[in-house]
Amino acid sequence: MKLNFELNGRKLEREIAPDETLLHLLRACGMHSVRGGCDTSNCGVCTVWVDDRPVLSCGYLAARVEGRRVTTLEGARAEAGELMNCLAAEGADQCGYCSPGFIMCALAMFRELGDPSDEEMRRYLAGNLCRCTGYESQMRALAKCAEGRRSK
Amino acid sequence: MISIQEYRFAESLDEALQLLDASRKNRVIGGGMWLRLGHASVKTAIDLSRLGLDRIEATEDEIAIGAMATLREVETAPCLRELFGGVLAESVSPIVGVQFRNMATVGASVYSRYGFSDLLTALLALDARVELRRAGTMALEDFLKNPPEKRDILTSVRVRRDGRRAAYRTFRRSATDFGVLNVCASISPEGDWRLSVGARPARAARCLEAEALLAAGDAAGAAKTASEKLRYGSNLRGSAEYRRALAEVLTLRCWDALKEGKA
């Protein structure tokens, strides 16, 4: 079937299978920041935005983005810069596999909640699993990033 | 894995129903959350996302939650934040993560009558009805017990604004997992109690005997009755015996929350 959608600000037309996942489509489009993890809509590694809302691309049918806007980390680099620096400075990206999904969800969180509390951050990011960091370094990075945002 | 031969955006509810009736292998797709873990060969997947069914609307008498509203929309809808002690938002907030809740829909959670459903447990403790395209409107409790034989399309869930306060408690082995047991209790301004227990692991059910004891002020008796009168089963997450113990504890916690005005 034919699919028309917007990927990181560019209009695209693609031929897809009716049961193709958004994860598969995005990687086929060269968006290699988007990764597969659990493949069962649980771990958050494959997070991208559809119409600015974070979703799990491994369990999202590509057919559903017809006429919609999809954003991956490749399309949110400028917005992600400060958070990426904070994550690196705090050693919160050890193997780095979960980082793009984590960053996409964290950016959505800042957009939605503005200046979230520590508790709100933990709740919002509960669906982003990380096997390296134990989350404390990520929380430090988020706090630092939030601090930077406040002082602007 | 669910395989799909054809994907269709329904342009009207009538068209969606026609497509559904055209083949047993045609299916309405809600959030598609079982895409990877489910097993089905679907001929035509019917998408309802263009039918304006994603609204959550409050009138003086009721709240109408469209079938395609996501669990995240239930969680963040301003009109649901205060109503019923905020219990609908609270019930969905532990489900996986924000991204998952941006996908999973109210309609699929309710129509599929999932045993593990947090939302069904909470809705059943309120005065909720389901609106079906073919069968019309029926009480959620009746729908859970005796759903219409012919496949249908759920268009909305309607909850009466009867001034109920409610409390929701769930026990999970780990954050973001399914509940081992879910309990929701509510009390109307007239003192009418409702108690719903879900993830038993069978689907949520009310315990009328326990409700009567709650109304009489016997919380300990009600909690014991809920753990004895309803049927509990065993699965990976817990044994029937463990669930019975949890039912007693969580019922008491709901009672405490409502009595102390924390819900």
Mutate which: A23, A47, A61, A110, vs B, most B CBs within 10 A: A61
| % of chain B exceeding 70 in pLDDT | 99
The whole-angstrom separation of Cα A41 and Cα A47 is 10
The domain locations on chain B are: 2-47, 56-160, 165-259
Nearest by Cα to B91 from B68, B65, B125, B67? B125
Would you call A71 an interface residue with chain B, using a CB distance cutoff of 8 Å? Answer: no
Residue A97's pLDDT is: 96
Instruction: Give chain A positions within 8 Å (CB) of B93.
Output: 123
Which two tokens mark B216? 């009489």
What one-letter code names the amino acid at A4?
A: N
Assigned fold of A2-74: Ubiquitin-like (UB roll) (3.10.20)
**B130-151 mean pLDDT:** 97
Residues 6+ apart with CB under 8 A from A93: A87, A99, A133
pLDDT of residue B263 exceeding 60, the answer is no
User: Is the CB of B99 less than 8 angstroms away from the CB of A127?
Assistant: yes
- The pLDDT tens digits for B196-226 are 999 999 999 999 999 999 999 999 999 999 9
Question: Please, which pLDDT band fits residue B191 given cuts at 50, 70 and 90?
Answer: very high
Predicted TM-score (pTM) of this structure: 0.96
- Do the domains A76-150 and A2-74 match in fold? no
**Shortest CB distance from A18 goes to which of B45, B72, B96?**
B45
Tell me the DSSP string of A56-95: EGGGSBGGGGTT-EEE-GGGSHHHHHHHHHHHHHTT--SS
- The pLDDT tens digits for B41-89 are 999 999 999 999 999 999 999 999 999 999 999 999 999 988 999 999 9
Residue B38's pLDDT is: 87
Task: For residue B145, count other CB atoms closer than 10 A to its CB.
Answer: 11
- Do the domains B165-259 and B56-160 match in fold? no
Would you call B39 an interface residue with chain A, using a CB distance cutoff of 8 Å? Answer: no
Residue B1's pLDDT is: 85
Assigned fold of B165-259: Enolase-like; domain 1 (3.30.390)
A5: part of which helix (H) or strand (E)? strand A2-7
The CATH number of the domain covering residues in A76-150? 1.10.150.120
**B24-39 mean pLDDT:** 90
Residue B37's pLDDT is: 85
- The pLDDT tens digits for A7-44 are 999 999 999 999 999 999 999 999 999 999 999 999 99
Mutate which: B98, B105, B178, vs A, most A CBs within 10 A: B98
Task: For residue A49, count other CB atoms closer than 10 A to its CB.
Answer: 25
Which two tokens mark B85? 């002690």
Which two tokens mark B151? 């496949």
The domain locations on chain A are: 2-74, 76-150
Residues 6+ apart with CB under 8 A from A24: A62
Determine the residue of chain A that is closest to B35 in CA distance: A59
Assigned fold of B56-160: 3.30.465
Question: Please, which pLDDT band fits residue B36 given cuts at 50, 70 and 90?
Answer: confident
Q: What length is written for chain A?
A: 152
